Amino acid sequence: MDGSCRVRPGTTWLIWLALGGMLLPGVGHAQRPLDGELTLELLQRIERLEAEVRQMRGELEVHRYQLEQRERDAPAGHPPEARARPSAAIEWADPGAPSRAEDRLSAVAPPEVVTPLPAAGTEQADFAVALNEFREGRFREAIAEFRQFLSDYPESPLAGDARYWLGESYYLRRNLDAAKEMFIDMGLHDPHHARLPDALLKLGYLYGAEGDPDRAREVLEKLVQVYPDTQAASLAERRLESLR
């Protein structure tokens, strides 16, 4: 699949940054306190924009999922084109290692090309349910569904997607610690997944939000190095400029 159906990673984060200045009195205007009514209006505007972004992200992801399903269901005489993994992937340390979770980034692995096996019908149906919850903005329910999916189908070809969208669900619920751990977990279990650049981007954002600019730079620089031609890398470069 090309990038036409990929949701631009970090969109929600950028909206918060763009609108954050509106809540600061004295930016571009004479300083004055914001009254309660104006503050409420701004917060409601942010919520509406967040909802629109969530809806667009969900709709695009459903389209991507449906296209992948049609590829998997293609006749045997016309197998879907093998999808190339990224030119390289970041290897992650063993989760059982004594080092901190944040120290699991390591070397770069060689590229591989594989065609994933079709998922069973029940797997597809359960994944679709979880994805629909995300699409509708019901992130609490999406978290429960994706967690159950990973418990029921830990070896599914869709497990990597489930981990990514579980991390996104945590991220949008503002459970940042859980989101960070899920994006790290994705790197450990799915080091060649097409969505790993997006996961690394969010991981860099999260470290920055925690007040750890050194770790944020490390992750974002590794992203740019390993996946230089991705949209995630472009966004990472912008964030790195603000961290320098």
Question: Token pair of 59, please?
Answer: 């709709």
Residue 21 lies in a domain: yes
Which range scores top for mean pLDDT: 18-22, 65-69, 174-178?
Answer: 174-178
Q: What whole-number distance in Å separates Cα of residue 3 and Cα of residue 194?
A: 11
Residue 148 lies in a domain: yes
Residue with tokens 């909206």: 15
Q: For 181-210, what is each residue's pLDDT tens digit? A: 999 998 889 888 999 999 999 999 999 888
Residue 81 lies in a domain: yes
Percent of the chain with pLDDT over 70: 50
**Domains in the chain: how many in total?**
1
Who's near 21: CB < 8 A, 6+ residues apart?
A: 27
Q: What whole-number distance in Å separates Cα of residue 233 and Cα of residue 223?
A: 6
Residue 52 lies in a domain: yes
Who's near 159: CB < 8 A, 6+ residues apart?
A: 149, 150, 153, 189, 190
- Give the pLDDT of residue 198: 93
For 198, the domain range is 10-26+34-243
The number of angstroms, rounded, from the C-alpha of 208 to the middle of its chain's C-alpha atoms is 16
Q: What whole-number distance in Å separates Cα of residue 135 and Cα of residue 57?
A: 7
Say if residue 47's pLDDT is above 90: no
Residue 114 lies in a domain: yes
Q: Assign residue 205 the CATH number of its domain.
A: 1.25.40.10
Q: For 81-106, what is each residue's pLDDT tens digit? A: 433 344 444 444 443 444 444 444 44
Residue 72 lies in a domain: yes
Does this model's pTM top 0.75?
no
Q: What whole-number distance in Å separates Cα of residue 191 and Cα of residue 181?
A: 15
Residue 3 lies in a domain: no
